[in-house]
Amino acid sequence: MDFSQNCVAVLELLHQKNLAIYSFNDDKSSFRIAKLEKKSTTLSILFQYSNKNASDPSFLNQVTGEVRTADKSSDENPAQSIHMIIDLNSRKCNRSNITTNLVLIEDVPSIDRQLLKSGFNSFFRSIGESYWEFNRQKESGKESVVQCRPLFSFTNLASDDLISLFNTKKISTIKLIKKRTTGLNDPVISEEETAITYKVAKKTTTQAYDYIIDKVIKLGRDEGYSILKFNYKDEQNKSGTATFKNIESQRLSSLEAAYSKKELIKTDNPIMQCEDDFHYELHHKMKNTLLKEIGVNDEEFNKDIAKTTQLHEDIAREQIHN
């Protein structure tokens, strides 16, 4: 299902009617769309998350050490906001009827991918399954129309950095994984997973890691595997995993690729814990970062930045003159 064609209009409608709200935790928590902006190539969303169980914010006087806690009224909850920019150019997956879109998300500790997934699925669940139709192929070759709704999932394009992984952790196993969608002719679609696991010697050097991984990746691509997973132990001897996806289509040289797709964005104005509108600088810089990733030049963004820079210069000159 194409996100741009089938889902954006629904999100806009829900937002206009103030129905884009996901309530959970016995209605003690909520996740809502506060602002939404659609452009030709991107969709910008500002979410607000509130949690009644969260502690009231406290402030420390750095001179006296006095602590002050801000009280909230009975109908208020501590809240946070998060910016999201979505590339509207959907990409077809190798699995039937599944598309992906590149997304850039502000890093907010209390808001994870699971909450985003639950929020999106809740928004579309409220519409019901009669809104969309899916042409299902029967075993006889005939097609039948089935009512359905979209399901969402957020996956890190690049959640880990291989170089730091080798430098700080001891890798024990390398696993290749491929998934196959089953039950396309049934109402419930499930996935089957196939994996190959390689054990790594304890005294393997960084150069040897590079050689081994390149060989494993080549094998994985040849055999149709798309996911590369490492099991490791860190400096405190705690076990963990690192996952790299889409190895079938992306270059993954273990010591050259910086696969931690994170961008530090600096802003002149502070970002509030919970914004009620798009933070101008953060919003536009996030948008420009995403557009650079997909190879699009946003002339509108460049003009806005030029105007903002000129305004700051004019204000500075006026202050100096006064």
3-state secondary structure the chain: CCHHHHCHHHHHHHHHCCCCEEEECCCCEEEEEEEEEECCCEEEEEEEEEECCCCCCEEECCCCCCEEECCCCCCCCCEEEEEEEEECCCEECCCCCCEECCEEECCCCCCCHHHHHHHHHHHHHCCCHHHEEEEEECCCCCEEEEEECCCCCCCCCECCCHHHHHHHCEEEEEEEEEEEEECCCCCCCEEEEEEEEEECCCCCCHHHHHHHHHHHHHHHHHCCCCEEEEEEECCCCCEEEEEEECCCCCCCCCCCCCCCCCCCCCCCCCCCCCCCCCCHHHHHHHHHHHHHHHCCCCHHHHHHHHHHHHHHHHHHHHHHHC
**Whole-number pLDDT of residue 278:** 96
Which candidate, 48, 71, 55, 58, places its Cα nearest to that of 274?
Answer: 48
**Whole-number pLDDT of residue 75:** 78
pTM of the predicted model over 0.75: no
Q: What value, to the nearest 5°, has the Cα angle with vertex 276 and ends 271 and 277?
A: 80
Residue for token digits 């997934």? 117
278 torsion bin: left (phi>0), alpha (psi -120 to 50), beta (else):
beta
**Whole-number pLDDT of residue 164:** 59
Answer whether 192's CB lies under 8 Å from 182's CB: yes
Q: What is the radius of gyration, based on Cα positions, of the chain? A: 24
- Separation CA 313–CA 321 (nearest Å): 12
Which positions ≥6 away from 29 have C-beta within 8 Å? Answer: 23, 49, 50, 51, 52, 53, 77
Which positions ≥6 away from 69 have C-beta within 8 Å? Answer: 56, 57, 58, 59
**Whole-number pLDDT of residue 309:** 47
Which candidate, 89, 103, 131, 63, places its Cα nearest to that of 296?
Answer: 89
pLDDT beneath 70: ranges in the chain: 1, 93-97, 129-130, 137, 156-169, 181-192, 206-207, 209-210, 235-236, 246-262, 297-322
Cα-flanking dihedrals φ and ψ of residue 14, to 5°? -60, -40
Encoded amino acid at 201, one letter: A
Which candidate, 232, 243, 101, places its Cα nearest to that of 159?
Answer: 243
Residues in the chain: 322
The tokens for 66 are 């006095």
CA end-to-end distance (rounded Å), the chain = 59
Give the relative orientation of helices 280-294 and 299-321 as an angle to the nearest 10 degrees. Answer: 140
